[in-house]
Amino acid sequence: MKFRYTTRGRAALTTVTIATGLVLTVAGCGGGGDDDKSSDSKSSSKSSTSNGDDEKESQAPAGESALAEVKAGGLTLKVTSAAREEGGFVTVEGTVTNGTGEPWVGAEWRGDESELVKNGGSIAGASLIDQSGKKKYLILRDTSGRCLCTQFTGGLDAGATTDWFAQFPAPPDGTNKVDFQVGSMPPASIELSKGE
């Protein structure tokens, strides 16, 4: 009889210990957030794809040096850099701001190709169009079909802004002006620069 009560006691203690451990684990994974309350209200609408401090720093110069800005359906797309890189490719970078009033996942920007479906919400459907050379350059992909571009993991909250990048084959050296196109956004005319 005494053995039976000891076993029950140990089982109850084990259950309490496991439950406490799980509660502490969940609380530890929840993240703090109270220490961020002192920052401005814009920090609460950040996307999960970027670091808050880096985002603030990158927004200020981006506004001053935008190569192009287009708007459609409540979204604002800025192109801040379009640089030729060694190896024969172009890296285009910028920001997207969600002014739709609801979360945005970027699914319509991933493109129509079946290979691009596995990229999820991303900028995989973007292209560069060389009007003078009459060529369209699609986004570069790795060997498993993943785009060399930003994936909007977790989407973008209403009012939030996040950075993006996309890499393309480089047009011929004489071509310096191209149109950047993605989804239903209007084309953004940009000028290519030499990479650093």
pLDDT of residue 83: 93
Residue 136 and residue 122: Cα distance in Å, rounded? Answer: 19
Specify whether the CB–CB gap between 147 and 176 falls below 8 A. no
Nearest to 124 by CA among 150, 162, 104: 150
113 or 161: which leads in pLDDT:
161
Q: Which residue has the tokens 């909250």?
A: 157
Q: What is the pLDDT of residues 18-73, one digit of tens each?
A: 544 444 444 444 444 444 444 444 433 333 344 433 333 333 343 457 899 999 99
Nearest to 193 by CA among 92, 64, 124: 92
pLDDT of residue 161: 94
CA angle centred on 98, ends 142 and 156, rounded to 5°: 55
Residue 14: enclosing H or E segment and its boundaries? helix 2-29
Give the pLDDT band (50/70/90) at residue 154: confident
Nearest to 67 by CA among 94, 90, 85: 94
Specify whether the CB–CB gap between 169 and 137 falls below 8 A. yes
pLDDT of residue 146: 86
Specify whether the CB–CB gap between 62 and 162 falls below 8 A. no
